[in-house]
A and B are shown apart, each in its own frame.
Chain A
Amino acid sequence: MFWSDFHFDGLTLTYLTTGLAITLLAVRNGRRTLRGHKHWTRFVCTTVLFCTGYGLTILSGGLKTLLMGWEIMGIASFLLIIHHRDFKNRVGIPAKAFFIYRLGDVGLLLAMWASHHLGRENATVISLLLLVTASMQSSQLPFSSWLPQALQNSTTASALLLATLTVQLGVFLLLRSYPFWEHQLSVRVLIALLGLVAAVTAVGVARVQSSVKRRIAYVSMAHTGLIFIEVAAGFKSLALIHVAANAFLGAYRLLVPPQLVRASAGEGTHYSRERWEDRLPKKLKYTIYMLYTKEWGFYTRLSKYLRP
């Protein structure tokens, strides 16, 4: 029966409204910047494709439908990242994002296979596979570095969609599969731990980040880490509110970038203010600063295997 493949509840509603609002914002923004550009048509088509995937995913009533939507969305996201790229000069074709997406699909496929063949007894395996997929999608550890890079490489309108919607879908997957792992303490602890580590790392990196887009990516990542904790703790409604808030905050930050400043404006005020980090012992302060500036080396480490 066709209709049994779909499911509609509060979770879907939240994601549907958030998604609708963000997509409209992105198209509006894209219209401003891309209109008249040769890429405009392509942008619209990709966005429609993205919406199809997104809708399928959030309305899905089973893993099969979800996987279908997921795949469509993955392709569309990748198209959005490379949207503004001529392949003549192959400067940084974001192979990493593509790779992570595909890896996530594998997790989802395996989960589907496991749910068919292993049944309910092996819920832990399924939950773990779903968790891997979710943390990849949400750019959580240890797959954290694709989002900043993708965001940095994509145009503003598509970045908006990516940063705010795609990332939230990891949380969606966790919430949708909530009944699977609800009664498994180990999985819940693991989710919370993952979220905690990601939040702590990302917030530090975001604090030292001087590139506007990368900063937004890391802030979004830190929030998603917190949402993971909330989900693990069972605060589903709080997590949903947080998801929407995170999406809109990200969109706002991307849409209203700070103004370029004059050379020495506002110098005195900002520098007299002491941050809490300044009170740390010198050695610790410098170490943490360097660690965060190097983004814990995740970036370089992953890049070593995935040269763009």
Chain B
Amino acid sequence: MTARNNSFDEHAVLHALKQFLPALSPGRTFTYRNPLEAFQSLNFHDALRHASEMLGYHTSLSMEEYRSYYNSKKVKPGVLERVLVEKKGASNTFEWQDKVLMKKFTADAAPRIGRLRANWQKQYNVDLDARVHPRLFRILASFLDQDVADWKFPVRRQSFLDSMREVESNSFVSAFNTPRARKLLLQTNPSINDLLAIIVGDESLFEQYLFDQQFAHRGWSGLVATLENGGNSLPGGSSITLRELIVFELLLEIDVLDDRLGKYWKPLAYRLAVRPGDLFAPVPADEKSEVLAIWQDAVEWSYFEEILAGLSCNPQDFPNQAAGQGPEATVTNAPDSLCIIGRLSAFRNLPTSHRAFLNNYDFSLDPDGEVLEKLLETVIPSLGAANLEHFFSRTGLADPDAGEVLTEQMIGLFGMADLRGDLRTGLSGELTQSLEPLRLLCVVEQLPEMVLKVIGKLKASKSWIVNGWVHLVVADALSGEMRVYKNGKMVAYKSNRRTVEEPVH
């Protein structure tokens, strides 16, 4: 996230929007991308907090769900205690344990996104979304339609705005109800800035307004942004850009406002009672987010404990773990949550209930870590993205009702729309209902010092590891000891109750 000043830079804002919007590809093609990519420069738990406060995303399970995990022994008490000691220190453990297990937290306040645009309803009593969205979606769906409609959009091989211009100038029936918006489209080549000057009026609010507007239908916007990035993949050789979508939506908004408020109305900024706070201001940590972070870590390490115990070469070190998969063994349902880089012999003891991505790698043949660097560079971003896509689909990132697959309808063969008419993002709820949200655990068989050196050299996947978007565990190739990467250090891992923190360097 960059520092933002008041002047409106169309390019920069469009770029930022594209980063924040979900990647939604048409139809069955599905490329994984970290749904919170825009927040990836932050530490994982900070990113969750920011995304939830700013965009209203559901980035973690609910407190009740976590507590039910604890009650059903999916979260082991010992692991929870260890996480508490690690995060809060031994002296505060009891206090925090009470908060984690018992304390009632108030429901979240409304997210920051949408606050500015809500003023249309409050100050002018116009429900813009209800009037603009159906019209916009219908035209967009017709324009993007792949194979549902018998009669396709009549203009081909042109960009979206040019197509609309062509239709408007040659049709006796207009897409608009009032003359001004139609004139703006036909006679000028309006920039986003010009239109926002009419609608919002205050340049310092433009960016926030655009975010509010586009996130009111993030599915469609995400689809358009993806189509724009992917080059020309539309049928009939047409093309569409996010800028065109925004311009057209702004025109429709002017149309609706002209229709509802008469010819003369003041821009939004003039009737603003309270200026909404900055959308991108940092979100301070509060008790609830900290407790959620503790729970998430506890869930993950409860699962990982078992995997690591199985992987360890010295089963006698782990008296908790029965050699032949005792009743403690749980079947994890979390795809793409385990990746092992090491010799084949190291995989031998892997619990069978886990699906792992195995990469054969011999540390003795890689004295300066070059092979490991390449491996991490390819494995972590791709597996990590797939893993997080499942993770956030499970937590119900954008749409907590995603499990309610029954209400959706198919639009133009490129997506499913929900009740509000927006396209669904993320994976289908059916797929993720029974998953556990776990981050990727990457186990590397190497010397801890060497791994630290390699991490320093990494490019694309460095932020994944450093900011905790994946867990990295090093199995010391010589001693067989496990070490966890934490805050730039390798910390010894102990699966039993107490952890002795002893940095390597």
**Which residues from 154 to 195 on chain B have a C-beta closer than 8 Å to any C-beta of chain A?**
154, 156, 166-167, 170-175
- Is A45 located at the chain interface by the 8 A CB criterion? no
Q: Which of A117-125, A173-181, A203-211 is found at the contact surface with chain B?
A: A203-211
Write the nearest CB–CB distance from B156 to chain A, whole angstroms: 7
Is there an interface contact between B406 and A84, defined as CB atoms closer than 8 Å? yes
Q: What is the CA–CA distance of A291 and B27 in the complex, to the nearest angstrom?
A: 28
Contact code string A136-163 (vs B, CB < 8 Å = 1, else 0): 0000000000000000110110000000
CB < 8 Å: which of B28, B151, B233, B419 contacts A277?
B151
When C-beta atoms are compared, the residue in chain A nearest to B226 turns out to be A263
CB < 8 Å: which of B26, B29, B150 contacts A275?
B150
- Kindly list chain B residues whose C-beta atoms are within 8 Å of the C-beta of A283: 170-172
Contact code string A157-171 (vs B, CB < 8 Å = 1, else 0): 000000000000000
Contact code string A61-80 (vs B, CB < 8 Å = 1, else 0): 00000000000000000000
**Which residues from 75 to 123 on chain A have a C-beta closer than 8 Å to any C-beta of chain B?**
84, 91-92
Is there an interface contact between B149 and A209, defined as CB atoms closer than 8 Å? yes
- Kindly list chain A residues whose C-beta atoms are within 8 Å of the C-beta of B406: 33-34, 37, 84, 155-156
- Kindly list chain A residues whose C-beta atoms are within 8 Å of the C-beta of B419: 91-92, 153
- Kindly list chain A residues whose C-beta atoms are within 8 Å of the C-beta of B463: none
Contact code string A252-263 (vs B, CB < 8 Å = 1, else 0): 000001111111
When C-beta atoms are compared, the residue in chain A nearest to B139 turns out to be A293
Q: What is the CA–CA distance of A210 and B172 in the complex, to the nearest angstrom?
A: 22
- Is B145 located at the chain interface by the 8 A CB criterion? yes
**Which residues from 255 to 308 on chain A have a C-beta closer than 8 Å to any C-beta of chain B?**
257-267, 270-271, 275, 277-278, 282-283, 285-287, 289-294, 299
- Is B435 located at the chain interface by the 8 A CB criterion? no
**Given that A258-B147, A270-B147, A294-B175 are known contacts, is A211 also in contact with B28, CB under 8 Å in the complex?**
no
**Given that A261-B147, A285-B154 are known contacts, is A290 also in contact with B173, CB under 8 Å in the complex?**
yes
- The total number of A-B Cβ pairs within 8 Å is 133
Contact code string B401-415 (vs A, CB < 8 Å = 1, else 0): 000111101111111
- Is A13 located at the chain interface by the 8 A CB criterion? no
Q: How many residues of B contact A (CB 8 A)?
A: 49
**Given that A208-B149, A290-B174, A294-B175 are known contacts, is A270 also in contact with B235, CB under 8 Å in the complex?**
yes
Q: What is the CA–CA distance of A281 and B233 in the complex, to the nearest angstrom?
A: 29
Q: What is the CA–CA distance of A164 and B501 in the complex, to the nearest angstrom?
A: 68
Is there an interface contact between A207 and B150, defined as CB atoms closer than 8 Å? yes
When C-beta atoms are compared, the residue in chain B nearest to A268 turns out to be B235
CB < 8 Å: which of B135, B148, B156, B166 contacts A258?
B148
- Is B371 located at the chain interface by the 8 A CB criterion? no
CB < 8 Å: which of B171, B405, B409, B412 contacts A290?
B171
- Kindly list chain A residues whose C-beta atoms are within 8 Å of the C-beta of B411: 210-212
Q: What is the CA–CA distance of A156 and B409 in the complex, to the nearest angstrom?
A: 9
Contact code string B382-412 (vs A, CB < 8 Å = 1, else 0): 0000000000000000000000111101111
Is there an interface contact between A262 and B148, defined as CB atoms closer than 8 Å? no
Q: What is the CA–CA distance of A257 and B416 in the complex, to the nearest angstrom?
A: 12
CB < 8 Å: which of A212, A285, A290 contacts B410?
A212
Write the nearest CB–CB distance from A81 to chain B, whole angstroms: 11
- Kindly list chain B residues whose C-beta atoms are within 8 Å of the C-beta of A91: 419-420
- Is A188 located at the chain interface by the 8 A CB criterion? no
Q: What is the CA–CA distance of A156 and B405 in the complex, to the nearest angstrom?
A: 10
Main secondary structure of the interface of A (DSSP, over half): helix
Q: What is the CA–CA distance of A142 and B420 in the complex, to the nearest angstrom?
A: 25
Is there an interface contact between B170 and A212, defined as CB atoms closer than 8 Å? no
CB < 8 Å: which of A258, A259, A293 contacts B138?
A293
- Is B43 located at the chain interface by the 8 A CB criterion? no
Is there an interface contact between B142 and A293, defined as CB atoms closer than 8 Å? yes
Q: What is the CA–CA distance of A277 and B167 in the complex, to the nearest angstrom?
A: 15
Q: What is the CA–CA distance of A299 and B142 in the complex, to the nearest angstrom?
A: 17
- Kindly list chain B residues whose C-beta atoms are within 8 Å of the C-beta of A215: 148-149
When C-beta atoms are compared, the residue in chain A nearest to B410 turns out to be A212
- Is B239 located at the chain interface by the 8 A CB criterion? no
**Which residues from 202 to 250 on chain B have a C-beta closer than 8 Å to any C-beta of chain A?**
230, 233, 235-236
- Is A223 located at the chain interface by the 8 A CB criterion? no
- Is B296 located at the chain interface by the 8 A CB criterion? no
CB < 8 Å: which of A258, A271, A294, A299 contacts B236?
A271
**Which residues from 20 to 63 on chain B have a C-beta closer than 8 Å to any C-beta of chain A?**
25-29
- Is B146 located at the chain interface by the 8 A CB criterion? yes
Write the nearest CB–CB distance from A287 to chain B, whole angstroms: 4
Write the nearest CB–CB distance from B118 to chain A, whole angstroms: 15
Write the nearest CB–CB distance from A153 to chain B, whole angstroms: 7
- Kindly list chain A residues whose C-beta atoms are within 8 Å of the C-beta of B153: 289
Is there an interface contact between B27 and A286, defined as CB atoms closer than 8 Å? no
**Which residues from 235 to 283 on chain B have a C-beta closer than 8 Å to any C-beta of chain A?**
235-236
- Is B101 located at the chain interface by the 8 A CB criterion? no
CB < 8 Å: which of B26, B144, B172, B409 contacts A212?
B409
Write the nearest CB–CB distance from A290 to chain B, whole angstroms: 4
Q: What is the CA–CA distance of A289 and B150 in the complex, to the nearest angstrom?
A: 12
Interface centre among A210, A267, A270 (most CB of B within 10 A): A210
Is there an interface contact between A211 and B412, defined as CB atoms closer than 8 Å? yes
- Kindly list chain A residues whose C-beta atoms are within 8 Å of the C-beta of B145: 210
Is there an interface contact between B170 and A262, defined as CB atoms closer than 8 Å? no
When C-beta atoms are compared, the residue in chain A nearest to B409 turns out to be A213
Write the nearest CB–CB distance from A90 to chain B, whole angstroms: 11
- Kindly list chain B residues whose C-beta atoms are within 8 Å of the C-beta of A207: 149-151
Is there an interface contact between B171 and A261, defined as CB atoms closer than 8 Å? no
- Kindly list chain A residues whose C-beta atoms are within 8 Å of the C-beta of B230: 263
**Given that A212-B410, A270-B235 are known contacts, is A286 also in contact with B170, CB under 8 Å in the complex?**
yes
Given A33-B405, A267-B235, A270-B147, 18 more A-B residue pairs with CB atoms under 8 Å apart are: A33-B406, A37-B406, A84-B407, A91-B420, A152-B409, A211-B141, A211-B411, A215-B149, A257-B410, A258-B410, A259-B413, A260-B28, A263-B230, A264-B233, A264-B235, A270-B235, A271-B152, A293-B139
Complex A-B, nearest 10 residue pairs according to Cβ-Cβ distance, in ascending order: A286-B171, A210-B145, A210-B412, A210-B141, A155-B406, A290-B173, A207-B151, A212-B410, A287-B172, A260-B27
Interface residues of A (CB under 8 A from B): 33-34, 37, 84, 91-92, 152-153, 155-156, 206-215, 257-267, 270-271, 275, 277-278, 282-283, 285-287, 289-294, 299
**14 A-B pairs with C-beta separation under 8 A:** A84-B407, A210-B144, A210-B148, A211-B410, A211-B417, A212-B148, A212-B410, A213-B409, A262-B28, A263-B233, A264-B235, A277-B151, A294-B135, A294-B173
Interface residues of B (CB under 8 A from A): 25-29, 134-135, 138-139, 141-142, 144-154, 156, 166-167, 170-175, 230, 233, 235-236, 404-407, 409-415, 417, 419-420
